Amino acid sequence: MDPELLKRISARRAELDELEEQLAKQLAEVRAERDELAVAERVLERVGKQLADERATAALAPRQVGGRTVMLIPHRAPDVEENVLPPDYQRILASVRQAAGPVMARQVGEMLGVDISVRAKLEPLRGKLVRLVDRGWLRKLPDGRFTTRL
């Protein structure tokens, strides 16, 4: 056999062995990074779910404002359902919807069983109606009547 040819074959085999070693190392790095990405995806999904749960809970949670506990009313948005509103606000919305047309705060009070002859009981209801208007859940007409949004 030709010694020069054997030398070239041996050199090529050494090159291929080195290339195989490099590729094996790269493959190990790719697999490790792929595993890290899978873990990152799971963590991201879990954190995303936790944040969504916290946001939903926070929308209902009472807050301290000026030393007083108040319930925050979320703004109306396509992904925000009515059930995030406190129950009394849900009843107010239902009353306005059930009315034949735009209603005054007094009429909503009657539907909810509020003693409308006592101004101190009607004004908090009016405040809630206005808050629902400010947050986009209801609409207030120029004459002071309230109606649902389309």
Asked if residue 137 lies in contact with residue 76, where contact means CB atoms within 8 angstroms, the answer is yes
Q: Which long-range contacts (CB under 8 A, 24 or more apart) does 17-22 make?
A: none
* pTM summary value: 0.54
* Cα–Cα distance, 12 to 5 (Å, whole number): 10
Nearest CA to 87 out of 112, 58, 105, 115 is that of 112
Asked if residue 71 lies in contact with residue 135, where contact means CB atoms within 8 angstroms, the answer is no
Tens of pLDDT along the chain (150 residues) come to 788 999 999 999 999 999 999 999 999 999 999 999 999 999 889 888 887 766 665 555 556 666 776 667 888 888 888 888 888 999 999 999 998 889 999 999 999 998 888 888 889 999 999 999 999 999 999 999 999 876
Asked if residue 59 lies in contact with residue 74, where contact means CB atoms within 8 angstroms, the answer is yes
Helix (H, G, I), strand (E, B) or coil at 8: helix
